[in-house]
Amino acid sequence: MTTTSIDPRLDLFAEIQRLKRQQRALVLAHYYQEPDIQDVADALGDSLDLARRARDARDVDVIVFCGVHFMAETAKILNPGKIVVVPDLEAGCSLAESCTGPALAEWRKRHPEHYVVSYINTTAAAKAESDIICTSSNAEQIVRAVPADRPILFAPDKNLGAWVAKKTGRAMDYWPGTCMVHVTFSERKVIELKAKHRGAKFIAHPECEPEVLRHADFIGSTKRLLEYVVQDPCRTFIVGTEEGILHTMRKAAPGKELIEAPTENHGGCKACSECPHMKRNTLEKVYLCLRDLRPRIELDEGLRRRALVPLERMLALS
């Protein structure tokens, strides 16, 4: 079914509300989704919030996960009794793609003494090869809980790993993965923008490169960045993360000036701070997946159980 088969006269917002009731569905959306999707969601959140919401979903039959594949897969791992559908099955992630299950298993074989802390931005197969999962909200807390006598592999985001290593003082090996969006912010342009907007605070996600992060007044997960903008008395913020969050930030902090952090635009992209995977999802596709209850996330039960173990360890700690 393609989006061209949708009657253009349909009010998609109203139809989505009607279908939610009809299908007994819960719509979850990440802050990086386009504004219309954020507005129709029952719950918005960062990776950790959404994992918890999916796990705790009870009085529904269906979870519509508006994010990327690993997030919806995590929902299915945590709540296998629900039908989990996604607007676009091809919505991937450069981090998850950089670390396959077999590659991580091979690494572990060569380093059996290591404790593997994997970012939630991984496939179920990579999670199954991990000792514990973390998100950008709880990475520091999770790493602090790793037994002191075990060396750590942090996978697959080396920038998040380096930031956590600095905060915790724990030495680590890093998987060489990065987020294709967060590495595009330009140190030179951030310095110039800060000089132009004296008094503005630069806030950034820990997936950014260390040379960009060193200019940040505050570093945190998407949810922490949102809370910071609301609570901090500063009036102007330069925001170094995926641009989708600005929609919710503007609603939550209407009086504040929010400026997107500048990117290098290496590949000639028009909007490098837009995640092309997250933006595969559209309101039309949300409508279609609610109507047709597909595409679905399906998982082999043995793999699901193995991936559940490190996820449950994380949730017990945070």
69-78 and 301-317 helices, crossing angle to 10°: 90
Q: What binding mask, one character per residue, do residues 146-185 give for ligand SF4 by CB under 6 A, x or -?
A: ---------------------------------xxx----
| Binder of ligand 13P out of 33, 123, 136, 263 (CB under 6 A) | 136
In the chain the first and final C-alpha atoms are separated, in Å, by 40
Residue 277 binds which entry of ligand 13P, ligand SF4, none, CB below 5-8 Å type-dependent: ligand SF4
281 near ligand 13P, judged by CB under 6 A: no
Three-class SS state of 185: strand
37 near ligand SF4, judged by CB under 6 A: no
Looking at the Cβ atoms of 80 and 276, the one nearer to ligand SF4 is: 276
Residue 135 binds which entry of ligand 13P, ligand SF4, none, CB below 5-8 Å type-dependent: ligand 13P
| Binder of ligand SF4 out of 74, 118, 121, 184 (CB under 6 A) | 121
Long-range contacts of 167-173 (CB under 8 A, 24+ apart): 167/140, 168/140, 168/143, 168/144, 170/143, 170/144, 170/146, 172/143, 173/111, 173/114
68 in Cβ contact with 37 (< 8 Å): no
**Residue type at 138?**
N
Question: In degrees rounded to 5, what are phi and psi of residue 246?
Answer: -60, -30
Looking at the Cβ atoms of 122 and 137, the one nearer to ligand 13P is: 137
Min dist. Cβ of residue 179 to ligand SF4 (A): 3
- Counting residues that bind ligand SF4 (by CB under 6 A) gives 13
Residues forming the site for ligand 13P (CB under 6 A): 46-47, 121, 135-137, 179, 207, 221-222
